[in-house]
Structure 1
């Protein structure tokens, strides 16, 4: 399975001629989801969920389908009847030939005075975990963690502790669209061998457009 990093929180996974896209939001490329056979959306915030990007994907491929939580699905089902599926914690679905497990329930706390929206994470083919905007620890081992490295709701100590808790073999940065080049360097040092320790995970930053092999075929 090949993973391609797109802008901010978005990634594309491809295998055997099929493509699954996760979180093609407003900070990702306008065509981030075009060509997808399946799209997963973790929650309703606009850096993860952009109706125009989803519409482009659904119109480009009339067989494409979306899996997401209720708050997003309710905004899409009218435009794409029968092609939008609601999921929640504990669900296991087949999305265009990708096995998807659903983990988590709530977005991380941004501030105690702000209500928490729902958020789910996805384990794809038992190998790659995208937690969305939460530090959800899945109740199963994962080889590759898509690490939300920077957000208004986190600090670097929490990111390090999250890596230690999940204990993946590899961690690739996502949710990095607000970081400058200087900040990438700081986070790289903190999460790398010169930092306090990331639980044995190898931390890697991928530039948008870069692709790597993940899962059993690596």
Structure 2
């Protein structure tokens, strides 16, 4: 299984036969759309995770792809095969086993509504919480896609999440708002958090991660 990260919160998981795209949002300008997409996972409705024009390009190239998201998202989509999913639900899409967790976006501010958000576990190996630090129940996680910068979080929460999940490998995501200096700082800090739980931390902006 190969994981390729693109800008901000988007990444592609490829098993050599089919692929899954996660969170193709408006801050992802460098996505190389595969021609073997079985499904697209949208964790929540915010534009940095869902760009409908980009999603349409994916579907145009992969008309059989299934878009999986909370009903608050799927109800707004046209021109694609949309499947609403809920927390604690498991579905099979092509070659991929997907399980969903969480339920709510982390709080951004008291005067902003809390929306639905889904974490996703792919093939029992890779977990991504979307815009939250929702735990994947008691699952043993091989690879964690770790959010590292957002108005809804602080770094201490990310470090605590690493300590709770205790994965074997970690790569950073949700980082478009960081300068290069910011990325370097986060990589240093998250790398130390990973070491404490015996995990390997790797930024994969320009390389793929094999699982």
State the TM-score, normalizing by the size of structure 2: 0.93
| Paired position in structure 1 for 2:167 | 168
Q: Distance in 1 between matches of 2:2 and 2:16?
A: 10
Q: Distance in 1 between matches of 2:207 and 2:187?
A: 17
Unaligned runs of 5+ in 1: none
Q: Which residue of 2 aligns with 1:212?
A: 209
Shift of 1:115: 1.1
How do 1:42-191 residues align onto structure 2 when only pairs under 5 Å count?
42-76=43-77, 78-80=78-80, 83-139=81-137, 140-191=139-190
- For residues 55 and 202 of structure 1, the distance between their equivalents in structure 2, rounded to whole angstroms, comes to 35
SS for the counterpart of 1:58 is: helix
What's the TM-score once normalised by structure 1's chain length? 0.91
Q: What's the secondary structure of 1:8's corresponding residue? A: coil
Shift of the 196–124 alpha-carbon distance from structure 1 to 2, 3 Å rule, reads closer
Residue of structure 1 in register with 2:5 after alignment: 5
Q: 2:30 & 2:203 partners in 1: Cα distance?
A: 22
Deviation at 1:71, TM superposition (A): 1.1
CA contact (8 A) 1:107 1:133 kept: yes
Distance in 1, matches of 2:195 and 2:159, equals 7
CA 1:105–1:66: 2 relative to 1, 3 Å: same
CA distance in 2, matches of 1:33, 1:107: 27
Cα contact 1:160–1:198 (8 A) shared by 2: no
Residues 170 and 201 in structure 1, CA contact (< 8 A), matched pair in contact too: yes
| CA apart distance, 1:111 | 1.1
Q: 1:44/1:127 Cα in 2 relative to 1: closer, same or farther (>3 Å)? A: same
Kept in 2, the 8 Å contact 1:41–1:68? The answer is yes
Q: Report the Cα offset of residue 167 of structure 1.
A: 0.7
* Contact residue 7 and residue 30 of structure 2 kept, 8 A: no
| CA pair 196-91 structure 1, distance change in 2 beyond 3 A | closer
Aligned to 1:23: 23
* Residues paired across the two proteins, number: 209
Residue ranges of structure 2 left out of the alignment (5+ in a row)? none
Q: Give the alignment's Cα RMSD to 1 decimal.
A: 1.6
CA distance in 2, matches of 1:60, 1:170: 32
Cα deviation code 1:60-92 (max 9, x no counterpart)? 12211111111110111x423xx1100000111
